[in-house]
Structure 1
Amino acid sequence: MRWSAGWYGGTGHDRQPAGGRAVPGLEATWTAGWPTARVRAVGEGAAVLAVVGECGADDHQLQDALAVVRAGKWRALTRWPGSYLVIARSGQTLAVIGDLAGQHPVHYRTDVAGTWWSTAASALAALDGAPVDVTALAAHLAFGQPDALASRSLFRTVRRVPGGHLLLIGPDGATVERYEPAAYAPVELRQAAPVVRAALAEAVAARGDGRPVSADLAGLDSTTLACLAAQRGRVAAVTFADERLRDDDLAFAQRTAAAVPHLAHHTVPGDPGTVYYAGLDNLGHLPVTDGPNVYAVTASIKRTVLDTVAEKTPAPGVHFTGAAGDAVLSAPSSYLADLLRERQHRRAWQHASVHARLRHTSTIAPALLVRHGDCDLSD
């Protein structure tokens, strides 16, 4: 597991992450498991800026951003393409900013001597053996959405910085402040689509920095990323194609690979061990995560896919996957229940019918559902 951590306070701290590497220019700040190339820092006088992860800013942009750090305009430090953690210090003020996607969450705990922060809640819990917060764990398992917990983490005494907020630490203690708006003004599809397209292209380009590139080639989301990456060079594209699966991923992947230059397509066949929930009886074989992860149920499948990637690429590189991309670009089907609760019966029927057509299923079931409560479709 890759993670970062730091301490702000007096001389009372006597711990640091096992195997942790100090971040240049920032006292008592470490990264664990991150390659050197993914940890960059610049500094000048009392201003220091570090980014950890996949950050699309070049060295000149980071250097120029020191003026932003001095001015305390923290949100501007989150606008570069990529997914990364920001650690910025201006004088005695330290700002720790995660990303909106939750790839770099920020947790913290305070005592009389100062504040510990980390992207791994379990690391902070290990400082004194803080127990699991069973209520927060139940909410995490039930909803699967991190912001359902608000400021609670999965461990007692360890606080979580909600999405769109940053951790600001100074001589007077630690505070959590919002930097991203809670809501945005509606934008027409014709205006929003080019913006989303440009952002995806920029994000893919930021990661294609000379490393070998591979990608899943299956659903719409992974196919989009694979095609964007192929515009810049060769992509080892892989499709998991177990004959037990009842989907059309392979057919669409083959058509895409035939039409898009630079997509070198590889099919990954399944075997008796590549099934959902395989290996969950031996936790030692699962990836280490900071909490229960829904993708643990597909770990054996992903491991087989990545083994094929390793065989087909000359060196370690970057792999694109579209996991949960549809959740970003579309609402979960549970919103249909919300429409019914609001008595928007006609709209619920129309949307349910569209979902049925997309999935090549009958529209009879949506009709029965809407009519079950004596709903009038003419509403």
Structure 2
Amino acid sequence: MRAGRWAELTRWPGSYWAVADNGQQRFVCGDLAGIRAVYYTLRGDERTAWATEPGLLGRALVPDLPWLAARLTVGEQHWPHRSPYQGIRLVPGGFRLLLAPGAPAQLLDVSGVEPVDEPREGARQFGQALTGAVQHRGRAAGGVVGADLSGGLDSSAAVVLAADAGPVHAVTYTDGYTSGEDMAFASRIAEHTKIAHTVDIGGDAQLPFSIPAGQPTGAESVLEAAMFAMDASYLHPVRGLPLHLTGHGGDIVLDFSSACWVRLLQDGRRREAHRQVVAFARLRNTAPGPYWKALREAAVLGRSGSLERAARASERGPITPEAAVAGWSWCRLRAGASWLTGSGRHQVNPPDEALSHTTCGSGSATVGGCNL
């Protein structure tokens, strides 16, 4: 902190917020995945206010309709620095906010992602980071740790690692619609680790078909709002514990991404990419040709070229879902693109922002428009 090496505060394993102040500057940062959000806005006195929820910034939450339309059209990566509300900005995952009295807020890249040449080495490093993140928190809790145990890979991995560090009380939810296979795996994990395990059997009142009365209202509409009754039911046995582990978001980290094939093509490793694509398609009993064509186009166009093509397509007129490119794409026009009016298409693709670069702060990071 004294030396101003703020990025080093983001190097601990796991997901967390970091807030630090050395008397001259204040550093605020969420996590690389963007799950720990940081919102900020400019106050009337020209000072920057920040918060972990937009409703805490003291501004009226007026929806940003172009942002919402863009999210329906092309997904979440459109204008990653904007939020669902006018006048409120969002720090993108992997970026940080640096504040100093009398100076504009700086938004700079602190992701520090270091690629590995060998997948086995990357897996080893990830395993070490996951183990350290779970077990450090378990030991620091100083008592029994609560944990979700759905029977899936994510929560099961967290429970197994936590059980090596101390006592765990796991909770599992089941009802007439959940998987019996997952329930069987959850029971086997609990038996193997010799932890306390509570199974909650939900009924009609816990089904996520409506938003129940009396739930805490968040700043944004999210799936958890509809699942509040289920969460309240199965988490009841572990209420009050100092720490609760969950597998939420694990698929984002652990799931396979076909973007690796685009990278192989861009690196000139065409034969290796083609071999993997063909094997992937055959496992799914589908033709590799259209998929391979889409990957080659993505590699040639790059992200900026794909965004420009999507902007031109949406500006020309309504798009039918059948016109979407098969296979992997940097920017896939969704079915929502066919709902836009002419005015909506123009707002989603304004010439002064959608395809332009905006430099934030004094660094070289670019976070404007769609060009993160």
Pairs within 5 Å for 1:36-55? none
**RMSD of Structure 2 on Structure 1 (CA):** 3.4
Give the alignment partner of residue 17 of structure 2, picking from 82, 85, 91. 85
Matched with 1:166 is 96
| Structure 2 gap ranges (5+) | 265-269, 297-372
Amino-acid identity (%): 34
CA distance in 2, matches of 1:335, 1:173: 38
Do the aligned residues in 2 keep the contact of 1:108 with 1:116 (CA within 8 Å)?
yes
Pairs within 5 Å for 1:1-379? 69-110=1-42, 111-124=44-57, 126-127=58-59, 129-140=60-71, 145=76, 147-170=77-100, 171-181=102-112, 184-208=114-138, 209-217=141-149, 218-261=151-194, 263-277=195-209, 279-280=210-211, 282=212, 284-310=213-239, 315-331=240-256, 347-352=276-281, 354=283, 363=284, 366-367=285-286, 370=287
Do the aligned residues in 1 keep the contact of 2:143 with 2:167 (CA within 8 Å)?
no
Cα deviation code 1:261-319 (max 9, x no counterpart):
3x222222121222233x32x4x433432322233343332222102334xxxx43312
Equivalent residue letter for 1:215: A
CA distance in 1, matches of 2:182, 2:13: 29
Equivalent residue letter for 1:206: H
| Structure 1 gap ranges (5+) | 1-68, 355-362
Kindly indicate which of the two structures has a greater share of residues assigned to strand.
1
In the TM superposition, residue 255 of structure 1 has moved relative to its aligned partner by 1.9
CA distance in 2, matches of 1:374, 1:174: 43
Cα deviation code 1:190-216 (max 9, x no counterpart):
212222122112111222221321212
Give me the TM-score of the superposition, normalised by structure 1: 0.65
CA distance in 1, matches of 2:130, 2:121: 15
**Corresponding pairs, count:** 283
In the TM superposition, residue 374 of structure 1 has moved relative to its aligned partner by 11
CA distance in 2, matches of 1:247, 1:185: 39
CA distance in 1, matches of 2:72, 2:231: 22
Give me the TM-score of the superposition, normalised by structure 2: 0.66
3-state SS of the aligned residue for 1:154?
A: coil
In the TM superposition, residue 371 of structure 1 has moved relative to its aligned partner by 7.2
Q: Structure 1 residues 176 and 372 mapped into 2: Cα distance closer, same or farther (>3 Å)?
A: closer
Matched with 2:326 is none
Q: Structure 1 residues 299 and 352 mapped into 2: Cα distance closer, same or farther (>3 Å)?
A: farther
Do the aligned residues in 2 keep the contact of 1:204 with 1:225 (CA within 8 Å)?
yes
